[in-house]
Amino acid sequence: MRKLLAFGLILTVTACGYGREVKNDEYYDDSKRARVQGRLTGSDGILIFGTDRSSQQADSQEGGLGVNAYLWRATLDTLSFLPLSSADPFGGVIITDWYSPAATPTERFRATAYILGRQLRSDGVRVSVFRQELHNGGWVDAPVAPTTNTDMENQILARARELRSQTAAR
């Protein structure tokens, strides 16, 4: 029983997700093919079926972007209701200008989004939304609802996932 408890504990710890996934190329391979350095084709075997997403071909699908293309496009889509001030596709920064909704002319918003890398990950995008209110003819900083930033990030991730799914089906 003690062994079972220990095994259960190990699985529980692993399930908590603190570890790093070990890829197949980090495991020992005793085939003779594995002892030859490099591959004539430049990739691990000749692609017979499917779409290559691990090599330079996949990189080219990023269209020269420095960050993940799906997150980039999803962020632009999601923030498209705001006027764009600047967008740096290499650094992964999108900054909008102030926008005042017609329904609430006494408040205005702007947003800054950071795309943090080339991986499509749930922590790959950060959004900061800023809000101001009109008081006595001048704009004054005002707090944003605590969940606004997270909601925007989730919206971007959902859109990115949608874009990715559409591409993966090809």
Structural tokens at position 64? 């020269």
Helix (H) or strand (E) holding 62: none
Q: Is 22 in the site for other proteins (CB under 8 A)?
A: yes
Least Å from the CB of residue 87 to other proteins: 22
Which residue stretch of 37-45, 80-88, 99-107, 129-137 sits at the interface with other proteins (rule: CB under 8 A)? 37-45
Please provide the size of the chain in residues.
170
Comparing CB distances to other proteins, the nearer of 50 and 64 is: 50
Cα dihedral across residues 88, 79, 131, 84: positive or negative: positive
- For other proteins (CB under 8 A), the number of binding residues is 58
Q: How far is CA 79 from CA 55, 84, 107, 112, 113, in A?
A: 31, 8, 17, 9, 9
One-letter amino acid of 65: L
From the list 27, 105, 140, 147, which residue makes contact with other proteins (rule: CB under 8 A)? 27
Which residue stretch of 35-43, 86-94, 105-113, 128-136 sits at the interface with other proteins (rule: CB under 8 A)? 35-43
Least Å from the CB of residue 25 to other proteins: 11
